[in-house]
Amino acid sequence: MGTDLQKSATKRAQLWLDGDFDEATKRQVKHLMEHDPKELEESFYRDLEFGTGGLRGIMGVGTNRMNIYTVGMATQGLANYLIKSFPGTEIRVAVSHDSRNNSRLFAERVADIFASNGFKVWLFDALRPTPELSFAIRELGCHSGVMVTASHNPKEYNGYKAYWNDGAQVTDPHDTNIIKEVEKITSPEQVRTGEAGDRIQVLDKSFDEKYLDRVHSLALAPDAVKRFHDMKIVYTPLHGAGVRLVPESLRRFGFTNVTVVPEQSILDGDFPTVASPNPEERTAMKMAIDLAEKIGAELVLATDPDADRLAIAVRDENDEFVLLNGNQTCALLASYLLTGWAERGKIKGKEFVVKTIVTSEMIPAVAKRFGVGCYDCLTGFKYIAKMVREREGREQYIGGGEESFGFMAGDFVRDKDGVSACSLAAEAAAWAKDKGMSLLEWLRSMYVEYGFYKESMVSVTRKGIEGVAEIADMMAAYRTTPPETILGSPVVEVRDILREPVDGEYSNVLQFITADGTKVSVRPSGTEPKIKFYFGVRAPLASVDEFEKVEAELDARLDQIKKELKL
C-alpha cells in the first residue's frame, strides 16, 4: 500500500478515536494504530461498500469492516430511501439473522434504527433461515427487509442482505438508488437510534407454522413417501439456522427416520467442526457423510448457516457417497418438479423455469422435453425473482436455480430456499426409490436422454487492496484478448454482459462459446474477493453402462481447458 493510503487510513482511524464511538471500539482502534499498521490500513482505507445486494465483510473495527457503526449507517441510508420511496406511508420491515457471531447484535441494531425512523418492524425472536425472511416480507405486507448473514463465508465474515417489497433482494433501480443514499451517511451521528418505542413486534415459532405450511404445499409424491417414510436420512445444518426448520419440514413431508448431526446442530458462529461452513465443499460434509456411513443412511442433506443453500450426497454403485454438484442438484430438482407437474396434468403451456447464465445447459433441455419455457438470467437469485415478478399473472413459475447450490421452488419465497429444497430432494429420492432407482441412477438415466452435461468451476482468490486491482486487470485482459480457440474448437461467440444485457441487466461477465458448444464464463464475485471461471462441456451418452468412460473423457476436457487458461 502506498504512503497516501497509509496516511488516509490513519487519518480516518483518528476520527474514530476522537468521535462518539464506544470505549471498546476506541481501544481496538488504538491497538491497531500502535501494533498492527497493516490491519489498520485494511480496516480504514475505504468505506465498506454497500453493494447491489447489501453489505458483506470481515467483522472488526473500522470503516471497511462489519460493526454496529457501518451496519447502522447502511441501515439509515436504506431507511432514508424507503421514506423517499413510500411517502406518507407507515413503512413496514422484517428483520432476521443467522448464527454468525454478532448477527443478533446487528439484527437488533437494524431493528432499532428502522423503528427509530418511525417504521413498523417485525424482528424474529431468534435466528431463522433466509427464505423465511423473504416469505415474511410478502406475508406481512412489508416494504423491505434485512437478513443479517454472510451466507457460507468463513467465520470472520458477516453481512447484510437488503430486500424489497416482493421478498426479493433489491434490483435496479432500487439497488443503485439505495447505494446513493447510503453514501450520504458519513457519520454515526446521522443515524437515528434509541427511539424505537413500541414499534418492534417479535415473530415467534407461530409464524414458522405459516411458512412450513407453504413449504409442505409443494409436496408431489405423498404416496411414495408413505411407502419409504423410514428411508434413512442424515441432515447437517452446519451450526446454522436450518436446524430450526429443516428437520420439522422433513417430518411434515412424512419422513420418520431423519438423523441430525449432533455436533453440528449446535448453534456456533465459530463453526468449530468445519474450516468453512460451505456445503459446496466435501470437507464441510465429512462429518455428515461419516455418520451416514455409520448408520447406513441413503441420503445426506446439508444447508449453510442461513439455510438458503442445499447440498446432497447419495450412494453410488460402490456404496460410497457421492456429493452432487450444484448443477446436478438443479437439474434433478427441476426435472422432479416438472415430472410431478406433468403427472398431475398441471402443465398447460404457460409454465417456466429459470437458471442463471453460468448454470448447466441441461436445464433448458429438460424444460423443452416437458414443453416448459426456460429463461436465463444473471447470477443471483434476485434475478430469478425478477423473472418471476415480471411474469406474474401471465406465466406460472415452477422452479429455478443456480450452480452454487441454490434452488427455489414455488413463488411464495423470492430467494433460494434450502428448507424447501431439502424437503423436495428427500421426496425426489423416495419417488425415485418407488421407481426402483436411486437419485444417482435417475440422474444418469437423464444423461442418456438429454446428453451428458459436465461442469466445473475454478475460484481464484486475491485478497486485500492489491487483489481488487489484480482481478480488474484479469477481466480487462480477457476483454482485450479473448481466447481464439478452446480445446481446439474455435470461439464463435464472445458475450460481454457489460455490453450485451441479459433480461435488461448488465454485469461484469464474459462468456466464450465454441463451435462444439463448450462454454467458458468468467466473472468476479459480487460478495467475495474472488474471480470465478465456469466451464461446461457435453457429450452423448449411449447407455448408463458407458457412464464412467464418457465421464473420464469429459473430465479430461475440463482439465485441458484449465491448462489452456493457465488456471
What fold is seen in the domain 452-564? TATA-Binding Protein (3.30.310)
Taking only the tens place, the pLDDT of each residue in 323-338 is 999 999 999 999 999 9
DSSP state of 560: H
Sheet of 485-486: strand order equals 452-461, 530-539, 519-524, 510-514, 489-496, 485-486
Of the chain, the percentage scoring pLDDT greater than 70 comes to: 99
In whole angstroms, give the CA distance from residue 443 to residue 437.
10
Instruction: Give me the mean pLDDT over the 165-193 stretch.
Output: 94
The reported pLDDT for the residue numbered 268 is 97
The reported pLDDT for the residue numbered 235 is 98
Question: In this structure, are residues 540 and 560 in contact, taking their beta carbons and an 8 Å threshold?
Answer: no
Sign of the alpha-carbon torsion through 280, 282, 284, 289: positive
Cell 445447459 sits on residue: 361
Return the higher-pLDDT residue of 291 and 527: 291
The reported pLDDT for the residue numbered 3 is 72
Taking only the tens place, the pLDDT of each residue in 339-378 is 999 999 999 999 999 999 999 999 999 999 999 999 999 9
Cell 443453500 sits on residue: 309
The reported pLDDT for the residue numbered 469 is 87
For residue 321, the one-letter residue type is F
In whole angstroms, give the CA distance from residue 284 to residue 270.
14
For the chain, residues classed under CATH 3.40.120.10 are 46-203, 211-450
Q: Which helix (H) or strand (E) holds 538?
A: strand 530-539
Residue 1: pLDDT band with limits 50, 70, 90: very low
Question: In this structure, are residues 121 and 201 in contact, taking their beta carbons and an 8 Å threshold?
Answer: yes
The reported pLDDT for the residue numbered 2 is 54
Burial class (CB in 10 A: 0-12, 13-18, 19+), 215: buried
Return the higher-pLDDT residue of 509 and 49: 509
In whole angstroms, give the CA distance from residue 531 to residue 524.
4
Residue 567: pLDDT band with limits 50, 70, 90: confident
Taking only the tens place, the pLDDT of each residue in 193-229 is 999 999 999 999 999 999 999 999 999 999 999 999 9
The reported pLDDT for the residue numbered 526 is 66
pLDDT at 23 over 70: yes
CATH-assigned architecture of domain 211-450 = 3-Layer(aba) Sandwich (3.40)
The reported pLDDT for the residue numbered 146 is 98
Cell of 226: 408413505
Enzyme catalytic residues: 151
Q: What is the mean pLDDT of the chain?
A: 95
Determine phi and psi for 556, rounding to 5 degrees: -65, -40
The reported pLDDT for the residue numbered 172 is 86
Residue 527: pLDDT band with limits 50, 70, 90: low
Helix residue ranges, H only, 217-360: 222-227, 246-253, 282-295, 326-343
pLDDT at 434 over 90: yes
Of 73, 79, 124, the closest CA to residue 97 belongs to 124
CA angle at residue 360 from 358 to 364, to 5 degrees?
110
In whole angstroms, give the CA distance from residue 387 to residue 354.
8
In whole angstroms, give the CA distance from residue 266 to residue 259.
14
* CATH number for the domain formed by residue range(s) 46-203: 3.40.120.10
- SS3 label, residue 534: strand
Of the chain, the percentage scoring pLDDT greater than 90 comes to: 92
Distance of CA 220 to the CA centre of its chain: 25
Determine phi and psi for 191, rounding to 5 degrees: -95, 130
Instruction: Give me the mean pLDDT over the 123-147 stretch.
Output: 98
Of 109, 496, 487, 421, the closest CA to residue 246 belongs to 421
Helix residue ranges, H only, 47-143: 68-85, 103-116, 130-139
The reported pLDDT for the residue numbered 131 is 98
CA angle at residue 471 from 466 to 473, to 5 degrees?
95
pTM to 2 decimal places = 0.94
DSSP state of 49: P
For the chain, residues classed under CATH 3.30.310 are 452-564
The reported pLDDT for the residue numbered 354 is 98
Taking only the tens place, the pLDDT of each residue in 168-178 is 999 889 999 99
Taking only the tens place, the pLDDT of each residue in 469-496 is 899 999 999 999 999 999 999 999 999 9
Cell of 440: 444417482
Question: In this structure, are residues 363 and 331 in contact, taking their beta carbons and an 8 Å threshold?
Answer: yes
In whole angstroms, give the CA distance from residue 71 to residue 75.
6
Question: In this structure, are residues 522 and 475 in contact, taking their beta carbons and an 8 Å threshold?
Answer: yes
In whole angstroms, give the CA distance from residue 132 to residue 297.
28
